[in-house]
């Protein structure tokens, strides 16, 4: 089969995003452009060819018979990040590959891209059934989780850097994946979607007209509870979310944008008042919640006068910035020669908050850091700020949040987290910044 090169022409994406359901068929007739066949190898072996779209079979549990396509760049890094790119209704994994830039960005930054592909007749992902809206309940999310497991197993990928993004039906699935598997995905980016659980049905239907029309409204707490109910008892960190929506969306209407903001700010435990608002491009309004930098807990981009088919070239790069993937290699460099950490806790019955201050006491400036520490037995992080924390218990790595990545000689940065405890509410007793052991202040 022919391999894909950087000179292969791309076709426009804009006409392939509208959902295929009942009343929308006339709209599709006007907008839908047939997708050209994508070249893809088929592999059953563990390691696939590089720099070409490849179908992988027998990748694990797959109750809804999804097909799996993968792109591994020639420049794949050690312990690479994994990005799941989810297509729209009537689309396919190869369509998503052809219509977005994630493969060429993978060539630049060394991560792996997975392209799930629906085989049911609608070519829409299941975001409505009770099985899909429950962790390991069945249907599409289980198959996608198996694809991620295959990638992490095969390439020793970084389990702390697994991400999801999708368009339309794929955006809805992005919401579902982050709700079902908050311990698997570090962040998501949803283009023209709806909140987790908004499309829920019990009659076997794939389509929920009330949700699509934007008439399903709930409080932030109610939306957050719906997402948390997918994985009862989970108390670890929750994925960050980036949301994109056009004000003139006539398929999944614009009120869904506000409902998603409610849901994911509540899930993240941050307020609904933006910490920052700006206009990164004419007609765009970007709000950030719980932080002001590129890796805020929730980032929302509203596109004035834009319809459902909002995805365009250049947006994928902004997704990578939010994910923290737009840098070469997974390890921040350089590391300081010396550091100091001050850590205090404020505890109550079964919970605590911890305040941590990191000081670069060396003469070497750094831009990008990872702070390692071990939580006392019985402690589990439930929320954090100023950094991304993985995993939630045991030996933890706190990675800079982008906006606070730079530490000049003598400079300090303050971060913190909230945790549950079973009696020991002490702060960690030792810290490392990269490979450097820090003194306690």
Exposed e or buried b for every residue in 211-224, given b needs 16+ CB within 10 A? bbebebebebeebb
Is pLDDT above 50 for 116? yes
Is pLDDT above 50 for 428? yes
Q: Please, what is the Cα angle at 302 between 298 and 307, to 5 degrees?
A: 135
Q: How far apart are CA 409 and CA 334, in angstroms?
A: 12
Return the minimum-mean-pLDDT range out of 62-66, 285-289, 391-395, 428-432.
Answer: 391-395
Q: What does DSSP say about strands 412-420 and 351-360: parallel, antiparallel, or unpaired?
A: antiparallel
Q: Which two tokens stand for residue 320?
A: 């990578």
pLDDT at 17: 45
Q: Which two tokens stand for residue 403?
A: 């906006």
pLDDT at 57: 96
> Containing H/E element for 43?
strand 41-43
- Residue 384 and residue 398 in contact, taking contact as beta carbons nearer than 8 Å: yes
Output 264 or 28, whichever has higher pLDDT: 264
Question: Which of 137, 141, 134, 233 has its CA nearest to residue 185?
Answer: 141
Q: How far apart are CA 396 and CA 386, in angstroms?
A: 15
Q: What does DSSP say about strands 436-437 and 431-433: parallel, antiparallel, or unpaired?
A: antiparallel
Using DSSP, state whether 1 is helix, strand or coil. Answer: coil
Q: What is the mean pLDDT of residues 337-350?
A: 92
First vs last C-alpha separation in the chain: 61
| C-alpha distance from residue 328 to each of 80, 138, 322, 332, 368 (Å) | 11, 36, 15, 9, 12
The answer to whether the predicted template modeling score (pTM) of the entire model surpasses 0.85 is: no
Looking at every residue in the chain, the average pLDDT score rounds to: 88
Q: What is the mean pLDDT of residues 358-368?
A: 85
Detail the DSSP E strand segments found in 101-239. 112-117, 162-167, 187-191
- Long-range contact list for 289-294, CB < 8 A, 24+ apart? 289/261, 289/265, 290/265, 290/385, 291/385, 291/386, 291/401, 291/403, 292/403, 293/401, 293/402, 293/403, 293/404, 294/321, 294/322, 294/324, 294/402, 294/403
pLDDT at 39: 53
Q: What is the mean pLDDT of residues 80-101?
A: 97
- Residue 251 and residue 168 in contact, taking contact as beta carbons nearer than 8 Å: yes
Is pLDDT above 90 for 429? yes
Q: Does residue 391 have a cis bond before it (omega within 30 degrees)?
A: yes
pLDDT in tens, 202-212: 999 999 999 99
For residue 414, count other CB atoms closer than 10 A to its CB.
Answer: 13
pLDDT at 400: 84
Q: Which two tokens stand for residue 20?
A: 């295929």
Is pLDDT above 50 for 110? yes
Output 437 or 163, whichever has higher pLDDT: 163
- Residue 427 and residue 396 in contact, taking contact as beta carbons nearer than 8 Å: no
**Rg of the chain on CA atoms, in Å:** 21
Alpha helices in 32-166 (DSSP H): 93-99, 102-109, 140-155
pLDDT in tens, 309-320: 999 999 999 999
- What SS3 string covers 6-18? CCCCCCCCHHHCC
Q: What is the mean pLDDT of residues 292-314?
A: 94
Output 364 or 143, whichever has higher pLDDT: 143
Given the residues 64, 117, 146, 168, the one annotated as active site: 168
- Residue 92 and residue 61 in contact, taking contact as beta carbons nearer than 8 Å: no
Q: Which two tokens stand for residue 237?
A: 């960190």
The reply to whether 168 belongs to the active site is yes
Of the chain, the percentage scoring pLDDT greater than 70 comes to 87
Q: Which two tokens stand for residue 221?
A: 């707490």
pLDDT in tens, 404-419: 888 888 999 999 999 9
Exposed e or buried b for every residue in 269-290, given b needs 16+ CB within 10 A? ebeeebbeeeeeeeeebbbbbb
Q: How far apart are CA 240 and CA 238, in angstroms?
A: 7
């Amino acid at each position: 089969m022919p391999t894909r090169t950087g000179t292969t022409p791309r076709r426009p994406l804009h006409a392939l995003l509208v959902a295929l359901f009942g009343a929308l068929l006339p709209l599709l007739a006007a907008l839908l452009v047939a997708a050209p066949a994508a070249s893809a190898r088929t592999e059953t072996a563990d390691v696939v060819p590089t720099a070409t779209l490849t179908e992988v079979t027998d990748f694990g549990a797959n109750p809804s018979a999804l097909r799996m396509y993968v792109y591994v760049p020639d420049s794949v890094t050690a312990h690479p990040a994994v990005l799941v790119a989810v297509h729209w209704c009537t689309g396919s994994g190869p369509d998503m590959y052809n219509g977005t830039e994630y493969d060429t960005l993978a060539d630049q930054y060394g991560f792996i891209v997975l392209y799930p592909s629906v085989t049911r007749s609608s070519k829409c992902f299941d975001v409505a059934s009770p099985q899909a809206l429950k962790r390991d309940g069945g249907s599409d999310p289980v198959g996608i989780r198996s694809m991620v497991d295959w990638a992490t197993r095969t390439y020793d990928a970084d389990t702390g850097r697994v991400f999801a993004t999708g368009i339309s039906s794929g955006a809805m699935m992005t919401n579902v994946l982050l709700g079902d598997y908050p311990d698997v995905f570090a962040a998501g980016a949803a283009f023209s979607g709806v909140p987790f659980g908004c499309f829920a049905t019990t009659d076997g239907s794939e389509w929920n007209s009330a949700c699509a029309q934007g008439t399903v409204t709930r409080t932030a707490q109610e939306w957050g509870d719906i997402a948390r109910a997918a994985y009862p008892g989970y108390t670890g960190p929750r994925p960050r979310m980036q949301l994109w929506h056009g004000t003139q969306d006539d398929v999944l209407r614009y009120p869904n944008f506000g409902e998603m903001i409610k849901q994911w700010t509540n899930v993240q435990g941050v307020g609904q008042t933006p910490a920052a608002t700006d206009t990164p491009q004419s007609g765009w309004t970007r709000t950030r919640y719980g932080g002001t930098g590129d890796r805020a807990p929730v980032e929302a981009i509203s596109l004035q006068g834009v319809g459902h088919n909002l995805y365009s070239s250049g947006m994928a790069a902004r997704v990578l910035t939010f994910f923290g993937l737009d840098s070469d290699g997974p390890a921040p460099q350089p590391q300081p020669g010396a550091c100091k950490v001050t850590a205090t806790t404020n505890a109550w019955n079964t919970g605590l908050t911890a305040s941590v201050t990191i000081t670069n006491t060396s003469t070497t400036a750094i831009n990008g850091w990872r702070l390692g520490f071990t939580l006392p037995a019985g402690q589990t992080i439930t929320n954090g700020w100023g950094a991304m924390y993985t995993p939630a218990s045991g030996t933890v790595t706190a990675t800079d949040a982008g906006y606070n990545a730079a530490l000049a000689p003598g400079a300090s940065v303050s971060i913190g987290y909230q945790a549950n405890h079973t009696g020991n509410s002490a702060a960690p007793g030792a810290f490392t910044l990269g490979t450097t052991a820090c003194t306690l202040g």
